[in-house]
């Protein structure tokens, strides 16, 4: 039986094999793995793509959030507002710098942080908001920026799932003080190992993060350490691979969106709710997410038909054992909890054919009818 993976990293590699192999061989032959022209070239191209003055390659998406917080001077005793419907890394980065995550429930439709609920969560300790552009759907950024401005808060955008998503004609990652990207292998722009980037147009922040990602090392004297930093520079091998993949990103984004629209068309009038793609935004979709009631039964049935489905994410963060000390309880964020029970991600990648999608939807709607 043919199988239908969520993403197809092997086909993606094969589609650019020659260029990727050449990039890898070039780095190995140069034997130059750290900082330098390969990294700078990727950073320039990525900054141009997002529309910021600077980009800094870092070790991972998690590191990009942590470094942003450190560069903004956020730490012990501070609070940072974010969504409970995200990958654990968003909260982990806040805790890693000694600050406390404060969750605000999501909008029931977009599943992104609800700007109307942010005001009530602001205290004297609040220093920043981290909106997460979940699944590649841009947050409603304008009201978030307005609240931040009024309350003198920083905005750190978590763009780990939204490489190239646009909101009112501008790319996410260009609105906040910094934009944080993950290039984890399965992300829309993926390296072959852990990797990430920070975008910013603020020169001071750019300089601070340059220090913080590399042991606080002075540019003029490598044995002089100016601040306590991290081992967090994106290595040249991954930067060179990412530069090759970046050339295809616009095409990849377009193909994913057209497949999402085709899913929506196939699902309209069925038992299954299609994904909501808000107007005024051009999402760069990381995953295609439907909402279903009897999810476990559906997922099992799809697995029997060799169709992989994912869950992003099955547990709202405020109910994670590792975040228990924050003191939240069941019922605190009802929209996030409901979404965590219902969301199901279907295969979405640039190699998916219309026929593949028709097959996936026929199996899905069959199972949904059985499990009404
Ligand atoms: C993947 C992801 C991260 C973390 O990125 P890593 O590169 O795995 O460290 C952070 N936030 C969100 C929303 C993510 O999806």
Grouped pLDDT means (10 residues each) for the chain, 372 residues: 93 97 97 93 98 98 98 98 98 98 97 98 98 97 98 98 96 98 97 98 98 95 95 98 98 96 95 88 94 94 96 97 98 98 96 97 92 76
Q: Helix or strand or coil: residue 127?
A: strand
Q: Which residue has the least CA distance to atom 2 on ligand 1? A: 160
Query: Is the CB of residue 189 below 6 angstroms from any atom belonging to ligand 1?
Result: no
Distance 159 CA to ligand 1 centre (A): 8
Position in ligand 1 atom list of the atom nearest CA 161 = 15
Domains and CATH numbers, the chain: 9-246 (3.40.640.10), 249-370 (3.90.1150.10)
Query: Is the CB of residue 238 below 6 angstroms from any atom belonging to ligand 1?
Result: no
Residue 190: how many CB atoms within 10 A of its CB?
20
Q: Identify the pLDDT of residue 149.
A: 98
Distance 29 CA to ligand 1 centre (A): 31
Query: Is the CB of residue 157 below 6 angstroms from any atom belonging to ligand 1?
Result: no
Q: Is the backbone of residue 51 left (phi > 0), alpha (psi -120 to 50) or beta?
A: left
Distance 366 CA to ligand 1 centre (A): 34
Distance 182 CA to ligand 1 centre (A): 5
Distance 296 CA to ligand 1 centre (A): 25
Compute, in degrees rounded to 10, the torsion defined by CA atoms 111, 115, 121, 124: 140
Q: Identify the pLDDT of residue 271.
A: 84
Q: Helix or strand or coil: residue 95?
A: helix
Query: Is the CB of residue 89 below 6 angstroms from any atom belonging to ligand 1?
Result: yes
Q: Is the backbone of residue 331 left (phi > 0), alpha (psi -120 to 50) or beta?
A: left
**What do you get for the CA distance between the two ends of the chain, in Å?**
27
Token pair 């260009």: residue: 174
Question: Cα angle vertex 193, ends 156, 94, to 5°?
Answer: 30
Residue 251: how many CB atoms within 10 A of its CB?
10
Q: Which helix (H) or strand (E) holds 314?
A: none
Asked if 144 contacts 150 with a C-beta cutoff of 8 angstroms, the reply is: no
State the Cα–Cα distance between residues 188 and 160, nearest whole angstrom: 9
Q: Identify the pLDDT of residue 106.
A: 98
What are the counts of helices (DSSP H) followed by strands (DSSP E) for the chain? 12, 12
Token pair 């709710």: residue: 273
Distance 180 CA to ligand 1 centre (A): 9
Burial class (CB in 10 A: 0-12, 13-18, 19+), 45: middle
Q: Identify the pLDDT of residue 1.
A: 85
Q: Identify the pLDDT of residue 71.
A: 98
């Amino acid at each position: 039986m043919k199988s239908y993976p969520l993403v197809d990293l092997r086909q993606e590699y094969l589609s650019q094999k020659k260029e990727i192999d050449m990039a890898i061989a070039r780095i190995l032959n140069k034997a130059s793995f750290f900082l330098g022209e390969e990294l700078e070239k990727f950073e320039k191209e990525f900054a141009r793509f997002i529309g910021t003055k600077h980009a800094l390659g870092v070790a991972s998406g998690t590191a990009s959030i942590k470094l942003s917080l450190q560069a903004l001077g956020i730490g012990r005793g501070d609070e940072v507002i974010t969504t409970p419907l995200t990958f654990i890394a968003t909260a982990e980065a806040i805790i890693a710098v000694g600050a406390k995550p404060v969750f605000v429930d999501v909008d029931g439709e977009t599943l992104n942080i609800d700007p109307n609920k942010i005001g009530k969560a602001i205290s004297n300790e609040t220093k920043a908001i981290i909106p997460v552009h979940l699944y590649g759907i841009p947050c409603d950024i304008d009201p978030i920026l307005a609240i931040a401005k009024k309350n003198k808060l920083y905005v750190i955008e978590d763009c780990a799932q939204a490489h190239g998503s646009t909101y009112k004609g501008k790319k996410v990652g260009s609105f906040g003080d910094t934009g944080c990207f993950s290039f984890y292998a399965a992300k829309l722009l993926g390296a072959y190992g852990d990797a990430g980037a920070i975008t910013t147009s603020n020169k001071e922040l750019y300089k601070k993060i340059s220090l913080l990602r590399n042991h606080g090392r002075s540019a003029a004297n490598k044995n002089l350490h100016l601040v306590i930093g991290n081992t967090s520079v994106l290595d040249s091998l991954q930067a060179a691979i990412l530069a090759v993949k970046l050339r295809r990103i616009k095409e990849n984004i377009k193909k994913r969106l057209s497949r999402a629209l085709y899913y929506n068309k196939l699902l309209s009038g069925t038992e299954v709710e299609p994904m909501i793609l808000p107007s005024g935004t051009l999402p760069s979709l990381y995953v295609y997410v439907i909402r279903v009631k009897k999810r476990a039964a559906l997922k099992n049935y799809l697995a029997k038909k060799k169709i992989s489905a994912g869950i992003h994410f099955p547990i709202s963060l405020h109910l994670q054992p590792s975040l228990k000390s924050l003191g939240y309880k069941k019922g605190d964020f009802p929209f996030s909890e409901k979404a965590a029970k219902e969301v199901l991600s279907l295969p979405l990648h640039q190699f998916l054919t219309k026929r593949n999608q028709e097959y996936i939807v026929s199996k899905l709607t069959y199972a949904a009818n059985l499990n009404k």
